[in-house]
Amino acid sequence: MSLNKKSVDDFNAKGRRVLVRCDFNVPLKDGVITDETRINAALPTINKLIADGAKVILCSHLGKVKEGPNEKESLAPVAKRLSEKLGKEVVFVADYNVTGEAATAAVAAMNEGDVVLLQNTRFRGKEETKPQEAGEKFAEELAALADDYVCDAFGSAHRAHASVAVVTKYISAKGGVNAVGYLMQKEIDFLGNAVENPVRPFVAILGGAKVADKLNVINNLLEKCDTLIIGGGMAFTFLKAQGNEIGKSLVDDEKLDYCKEMIAKAESLGKKLLLPVDTTIAASFPDPIDGPIEVSVVDANAIPADMEGLDIGPKTAELYADAVKNAKTVVWNGPMGVFENPTLAKGTIAVAKALAETDATTIIGGGDSAAAVNQLGFADKMSHISTGGGASLEFLEGKELPGVYAADDK
Ligand code: ATP
């Protein structure tokens, strides 16, 4: 799928002040970045703009900032690490106001090819656009620092936030360009091609906790794929909808009719819908989540009333791995079981391994499945691991992302 939006290749950035919205929302432990994936993913666009002779002004959110601006959620560690990776100074504007005097002065002092990183955008409010006036004002202030704008924050592209979407209005008003970066292009190429133009057979695998979280994804993917595989906690609502006893397993009782509808839809479209044939059960959910747990395996239609299904069983793992073997395109979102526990990670590992071994184009939809693939050391075997869990899910639902549609058309 080619994106009909202006990219960093479509305008001359030399000498221009270019505001780049990145996704530097990295995990931090005691001030140390524990996973640099998102920083690495932002480098191609930043390097391109430096090489073009732009004045590169970076911004991003970090964390949830539930209790207002604080040093623990400052972007300072990102500035330091980014500077090491770029091999040049990244001037960090530590001011909690993000925009304002300090930012304006730092930008005024820039030469071509210089890089400035602004403070955590969430320091200006939880959702940035709430209240609306605050979001508008912040977006206007951000735009005032720059001539052009580049959105490369795929992980935030599903949010119509000030720094993701609203800012484009003010850049346009003064004749500037709004473009997308290389990461956005790459994410949309992979996810878009998989969904809209897949090499078939196209197998979609969905797992995770609740059916309710993925209603639209199930519905949309069922129309696009050849085989839809369901695992994880959400599988039990499907099993119950088929009339099985599911014991104490996770269930969305309100979604039983929906599951029946999806089963019927698969049948009428001639699509394969694979559900677990066996499951790994325990007396209760592990506490702590990674603590020791006694398990056994039963057929999916024979779960005792006092037991809970916490992973797909070995027969199911084999069935799912087989389906992946013959695929040419695979999209995976959500773990097959409580993968945080080593005893209950077998199903997720089996699926990850099947994806690692196939020649198909394999796309991991971010979030927990990306974490699982990374933890298991299969990351370099996948064609693409999305940097945005929520954004990739909304994309798979068929929704347009605000961070994409706010960019100028080509
Ligand atoms: P994210 O929201 O981060 O993108 P995701 O979409 O990959 O994650 P979620 O829907 O959040 O997945 O669900 C992941 C959670 O589901 C994991 O914490 C896992 O332990 C849990 N889970 C998986 N299978 C089961 C099960 N059978 N019973 C209960 N919980 C389960």
Q: What is the pLDDT of residues 70-83, one digit of tens each?
A: 999 999 999 999 99
Please name the helix (run of DSSP H) or strand (run of DSSP E) that holds residue 230, with its range, or none.
strand 227-230
Confidence of residue 1 (pLDDT cuts 50, 70, 90): low
Confidence of residue 40 (pLDDT cuts 50, 70, 90): very high
287 burial (CB, 10 Å; 0-12 / 13-18 / 19+) is exposed
- At residue 251, what are phi and psi to the nearest 5 degrees? -150, 145
Hey, what amino acid is at 169?
K
Closest ligand 1 atom to residue 369 Cα is 7
**Percent of the chain clearing pLDDT 70 (strictly above):** 99
Token pair listed for 391 = 């954004």
Q: What is the structure's pLDDT at 3? A: 77
Active-site residue, from 113, 390, 398, 399: 390
Closest ligand 1 atom to residue 289 Cα is 20
Integer Cα distance of 284 and 341 in angstroms:
13
Query: 336: which DSSP letter?
Result: S
- At residue 206, what are phi and psi to the nearest 5 degrees? -120, 135
390 is annotated as an active-site residue: yes
Average pLDDT for residues 321-328, to the nearest whole number? 96
Active-site residue, from 233, 313, 367, 389: 367
| Ligand 1 centroid distance, CA of 193 (Å) | 26
66 is annotated as an active-site residue: no
Q: What is the structure's pLDDT at 2? A: 65
What is the secondary structure of 232-279 as a DSSP string? STTHHHHHHHTT---TT----GGGHHHHHHHHHHHHHHT-EEE--SEE
Handedness of CA 64, 69, 70, 74 (dihedral sign): positive
| Ligand 1 centroid distance, CA of 232 (Å) | 7
Average pLDDT for residues 386-392, to the nearest whole number? 90
pTM for the whole structure: 0.88
| Ligand 1 centroid distance, CA of 367 (Å) | 9
Active-site residue, from 38, 122, 240, 255: 38
Q: Pocket residues for ligand 1 (CB within 6 Å)?
A: 208-209, 213, 232-233, 250, 309-310, 333-335, 337-338, 340, 366-369, 389
Cα 364 to the center of its chain, rounded Å:
9
| Ligand 1 centroid distance, CA of 237 (Å) | 14
Token pair listed for 193 = 């091609």
pLDDT digits (tens, 9 = 90+) for 102-149: 999 999 999 999 999 999 999 998 667 778 888 999 999 999 999 999
100 is annotated as an active-site residue: no
| Ligand 1 centroid distance, CA of 368 (Å) | 7
| Nearest CA residue ID for atom 1, ligand 1 | 367
Q: What is the mean pLDDT of the chain?
A: 95
Spatial contact of 387 and 37, defined as CB atoms under 8 Å apart: yes
Q: Is the pLDDT at 48 greater than 70, yes or no?
A: yes
Query: Who wins on pLDDT, 393 or 244?
Result: 244
The SS3 assignment for 104 reads helix
Q: What is the structure's pLDDT at 129? A: 72
Active-site residue, from 80, 81, 169, 210: 210
247 is annotated as an active-site residue: no
pLDDT digits (tens, 9 = 90+) for 174-197: 999 999 999 999 999 999 888 889
Q: Which alpha helices (H) appear in 53-131, and where do they start and end?
A: 76-86, 101-108
Confidence of residue 59 (pLDDT cuts 50, 70, 90): very high
The SS3 assignment for 74 reads coil
pLDDT digits (tens, 9 = 90+) for 337-388: 999 999 999 999 999 999 999 999 999 997 888 888 988 899 999 999 999 8
Q: Is the pLDDT at 407 greater than 80, yes or no?
A: yes
Spatial contact of 261 and 309, defined as CB atoms under 8 Å apart: no
175: left (phi over 0), alpha (psi -120 to 50) or beta: left
Q: Which of 255, 351, 368, 386 to mutate to test the pocket of ligand 1 (most atoms within 8 A of CB)?
A: 368
